């Protein structure tokens, strides 16, 4: 166990046991510790049997059953760890009313995490998508030199002037075979 986790855990358990022993006495504190361990494991086993019966008779949703099994397993591990604080936390995960509250909180967080992951993956894939290029307004035949920038800035008035003088015939190709009256096929 890493020291960053072990030190606060041991400190919390020692202080909790000391507070319980000073309140009830050392003998009663040890009895509470043993009862939490064996009682918690017995309640966890009974709850697992109840959930498996409910899942077998289709009285419980499979997702809810899986969530309950996970929380029961976590609660059983916490009860099995030495200490009063972890045993109480484990019992809270084992008892059905508090387990339902924890399951609801975790389900919301899990759903939010999945949605965030979906948004992040969309943004990442969209960042690598090829962008369409519609060319530039610069003249490819214009001489490029130090006095002529590679991409000159065209202001709005130039674009309005250019579009006001447009004629649809300006867009016909001189090489287009349809303009000379032929149908474009080679009739040999």
Whole-angstrom distance, CA of residue 112 vs CA of residue 119: 11
| pLDDT, mean over the chain | 79
> How many angstroms separate the CA atoms of 149 and 134, rounded?
19
Most confident of 40-49, 59-68, 164-173: 40-49
Report the distance separating Cα 130 and Cα 134, nearest Å: 13
What does the pLDDT read at residue 137?
A: 61
Neighbouring residues of 43: CB distance < 8 A, sequence distance ≥ 6: 91, 94, 95
Q: Quick: pLDDT tens for 60-85.
A: 888 888 888 888 988 989 888 888 88
Of 2-6, 100-104, 138-142, give the lowest mean pLDDT range.
Answer: 138-142
Domain extent listing, the chain = 36-117
Q: How far apart are CA 43 and CA 80, in angstroms?
A: 12
Indicate whether 147 pLDDT > 60: no
Q: What is the pLDDT of residue 151?
A: 56
SS3 145: strand
Whether the pLDDT of residue 178 is over 60: the answer is no
pLDDT of residue 139: 64
Mean pLDDT confidence for 34-45? 88
| Rounded Cα–Cα distance for residues 17 and 26 (Å) | 9
- What is the distance of C-alpha 179 from the center of its chain? 60
Question: Is the pLDDT at 33 greater than 60, yes or no?
Answer: yes
pLDDT at residue 143, rounded to an integer: 64
pLDDT tens track for 6-32:
788 888 888 888 998 899 898 898 998
pLDDT of residue 188: 47
User: Which two structure tokens, joined as six digits, stand for 80?
Assistant: 């099995």
Give mean pLDDT, residues 51-57.
88
- Contact status, residue 99 vs residue 51, Cβ threshold 8 Å: no
Pairwise CA distance, residues 118 & 112, whole Å: 10
CA nearest to 50, candidates 30, 65, 31: 65
Q: pLDDT tier at 161 (50, 70, 90 boundaries)?
A: confident
Q: Which residue has the higher pLDDT, 147 or 162?
A: 162
Give yes or no for a contact between 67 and 103, defined as CB atoms under 8 angstroms apart.
yes
The least confident of 56-60, 87-91, 130-134, 168-172 is: 130-134
């Amino acid at each position: 166990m890493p020291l960053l986790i072990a030190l606060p855990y041991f400190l919390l358990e020692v202080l909790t046991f000391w507070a319980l022993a000073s309140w009830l006495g050392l003998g009663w504190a040890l009895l509470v510790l043993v009862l939490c361990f064996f009682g918690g494991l017995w309640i966890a086993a009974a709850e697992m049997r109840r959930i498996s019966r409910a899942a077998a008779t289709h009285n419980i949703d499979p997702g809810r059953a899986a969530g309950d099994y996970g929380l029961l397993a976590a609660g059983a591990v916490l009860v099995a760890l030495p200490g009063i604080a972890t045993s109480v936390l484990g019992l809270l995960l084992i008892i059905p009313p508090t387990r339902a509250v924890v399951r609801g909180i975790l389900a919301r967080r899990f759903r939010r995490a999945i949605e965030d992951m979906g948004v992040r993956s969309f943004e990442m894939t969209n960042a690598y998508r090829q962008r369409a290029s519609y060319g530039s307004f610069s003249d490819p035949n214009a001489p490029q030199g130090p006095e002529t920038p590679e991409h000159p800035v065209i202001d709005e008035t130039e674009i309005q002037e250019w579009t006001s003088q447009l004629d649809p015939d300006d867009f016909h190709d001189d090489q287009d075979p349809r303009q000379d009256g032929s149908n474009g096929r080679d009739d040999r």
